[in-house]
Structure 1
Amino acid sequence: MPANTRPSSSSGDIAPSRYPGERLGLPESGAHSVGRVGRRIGALVVDWMLAMLVSAMFFGSDAWANTAIFAIMQMVFLPTLGGSIGHRVFGLRLIRVTGGWVGPWRPLVRTILLVIVVPALVWDSDQRGFHDKVAGTVLIRA
């Protein structure tokens, strides 16, 4: 191997980030930084509790109804409010990585993957779940 060639790393030769969101051009902290785990879990709990409340009122707390109501809330509020009710309560907002409106298909794809659960548990160094990577979105602090 030539002296000026280094072996390929398993990470695809991408330099590690110093902080989540650095490679996306986001600040390390404060407004517009990547929403951290605590806020995201809190938002998820709020959204799930709201879905359970609506389900209990109309469907007797049926598990499928809980999931469907949760998904509908995500697909309606992400493109219209910039985040779910839980996101807004915890000061989070969903944006496209490339900027602009998230549109209707990104929330749909993101929600389907979120409901499956496993993609949301696979994260990169920017603390973006696979559901956000596929949808081309990132959850930031508002």
Structure 2
Amino acid sequence: MARWTGEWLSAPRPGAEEPPRWRGERLGLPEQGVGAVARGGARLLGLVVDLVAASLLTSLFLRPDLQDTAAMQSYNLWAIAVWAVITIIPVSFFGFTPGMFVTGIRVARLDGAQMVGVPRAIVRAALTFLIIPAAIRNADGRSWLDRLTGTVVIRMR
């Protein structure tokens, strides 16, 4: 049994399952190209693009005032709400956020269904908001939120 720190700290044991040669091999995904497991850098860049987009969209309706704490709290709450909308709705129906589209990655269900669905997208957004579940990944490159929702983030190009 692997430790919580992951397979990379566990020494191979005699008779143990051979470690995968690439991320996603156990899931039947290719090593490179379309359909391969997305790297952490693309995922992080996609999140940053989504956060900037949410902030810019919020700025269209609310003026950020760095000198006014109450105004900034309101602005930040609205920016989080906008981020949730631009994350949950597109992932539910299309499998990617605007930031994921820019970086060329998308969310795919492991059971082969076409749409991720609203419940899975809500869980993914909630756990992404907490950061840690999205940052810790296993040997297949799947984060806690991927494992909980039965999904994997793959490359589109």
TM-score w.r.t. the length of structure 1 is 0.86
What are the superposed Cα offsets for residues 2-57 of structure 1, whole Å, 9 maximum, x if unpaired?
xxxxxx6656x554221111111100000000011121112111111100101222
RMSD after superposition: 1.9
Instruction: Please state how far the C-alpha of 1:81 moved relative to its aligned partner.
Output: 2.1
Equivalent of 2:149, from 132, 135, 142? 135
Equivalent residue for 1:18? 21
Equivalent of 2:89, from 52, 60, 76? 76
Instruction: Please state how far the C-alpha of 1:118 moved relative to its aligned partner.
Output: 1.5
Equivalent residue for 1:5? none
Q: Which runs of 4+ in 1 moved over 3 A?
A: 8-11
Gap regions ≥5 residues in structure 2: 8-15, 65-74
Secondary structure, aligned partner of 2:128: helix
**Aligned AA (1:103):** G
The 2-side partners of 1:53 and 1:116 are apart by 22
Gap regions ≥5 residues in structure 1: 1-7
User: Could you tell me whether the CA contact under 8 Å between 2:93 and 2:116 is conserved in 1?
Assistant: no
Secondary structure, aligned partner of 2:60: helix
The 1-side partners of 2:82 and 2:146 are apart by 20
Secondary structure, aligned partner of 1:94: strand
Q: For residues 19 and 72 of structure 1, do their structure 2 counterparts lie closer, same or farther at Cα, with a shift above 3 Å needed?
A: same
User: How many pairs does the alignment contain?
Assistant: 135
Equivalent residue for 2:71? none
Note if 1:87 corresponds to 2:90: no
User: Could you tell me whether the CA contact under 8 Å between 2:128 and 2:134 is conserved in 1?
Assistant: yes
Instruction: Please state how far the C-alpha of 1:60 moved relative to its aligned partner.
Output: 3.2
